[in-house]
Amino acid sequence: MRNYAFIGLGALGMSMLERISEVTDQIIAIDKDPQIIDRVKDMVQTAYVADVLDEDALVKILTEAVDVAIIDIPSDLEASILVIYQLKKLGVPEIIVKSDSESRNEILKLVGATRIVNADREAAARIVPLVLATSLYNFMPIGGDLVIAEVHNPKESIGKTIIEADLRRRMGINVIAARREGMQSYQDFDREYRLREDDHLLVAGKEKDVFAFSDLPLAPTQKQRGSTIGGVLKTMFRMGKAKPRKD
């Protein structure tokens, strides 16, 4: 299970935390506002009231490895830059940062941000799947419950043709194209093409089928409740305010 750190809880950070907390509680939340921390403390593993510009405080809090950090410090470019710098020093591989202007995006990328987000709830709905499923690289809702996504070729399909893999019948997934790891463009493939371990597949299908195909994990609490992946994701992506999880 991946570990998440939320540093600053503006609109984007709060929206993403509410949704990710429906799937996992491996979350650290940090904000200088005690009221915000009080609001999220039951949704996360640990929550801290702290000044994120205090380097010593950040190092003491992030004692365990963090896989994904989400930074949302509204209207404070300097603070975002300093936090990115500290996270890079700590070896955090994925750093997502909220930006309120295009002119700041390049600066944030230069200092180490791996993903820049310029919207709030709509962006959260698109980006949450990418940080929950390690085999999912791109994700785009296209209307209703249909989506297009880029997914790493699963192990069970290695060495098979698209017909042999039978993904449409077994998984409800339509493969549009494929590209090799490191290649920028997708390639058409013929009936004899055999899928490789390093292939990325561009697929289309229903949201629940794409998430199942990309092995989106369920939190232990969700498994105990007997929830289906569809039910969990329906909760994750509703646009209304998510309710805190009850123990």
Each domain of the chain, given as residue ranges in start order, spans: 4-132, 136-215
Reported as a pLDDT band with limits 50, 70 and 90, residue 114 is: very high
64 DSSP assignment: S
Tens-digit pLDDT profile for residues 169-217: 888 888 888 888 777 777 776 778 888 888 888 889 888 888 888 876 5
Among 24-28, 97-101, 130-134, 217-221, top mean pLDDT goes to 24-28
Q: What is the mean pLDDT of the chain?
A: 80
- pLDDT tier at 123, thresholds 50, 70, 90: low
Q: If you average pLDDT over residues 151-180, what whole number do you get? A: 87
For the sheet with 68-71, list strands across it.
46-49, 27-31, 4-7, 68-71, 94-98, 115-117
* For residue 39, pLDDT beyond 50: yes
Highest mean pLDDT among 111-120, 163-172, 237-246: 163-172
Sign for the CA dihedral angle at 35, 39, 42, 45 comes to negative
Name the CATH topology of 4-132. Answer: Rossmann fold (3.40.50)
Q: What's the average model confidence in pLDDT over 42-56?
A: 89
The yes/no answer on whether domain 136-215 falls in CATH 3.30.70.1450 is yes
- The single-letter code of the amino acid at 154 is P
Q: Is the pLDDT of residue 103 over 60?
A: yes
In contact, 198 and 181? CB cutoff 8 Å:
yes
Which pLDDT belongs to residue 247? 46
Q: Tokens for 97, please give them.
A: 């940062």
| Segment 68-78 mean pLDDT | 88
Share of the chain above pLDDT 70, in %: 82
| Residue 124: pLDDT band with limits 50, 70, 90 | low
d(CA 96, CA 115): 5
Does the global pTM surpass 0.85?
no
Residue 246 confidence (pLDDT): 46
Confidence bin at 100 (pLDDT 50/70/90):
confident
Domains 4-132 and 136-215 share a fold: no
* pLDDT confidence bin for 125, thresholds 50/70/90: low
pLDDT band at 43 (very low <50, low <70, confident <90, very high): very high
Contacts of 84 (CB under 8 A, 6+ apart): 71, 95, 97, 108, 111, 112, 113
128 vs 124, 139, 166, 182, CA distance in Å?
6, 10, 28, 24
Tokens 């002119």 label which residue?
103
* pLDDT computed for residue 150 by the predictor: 87
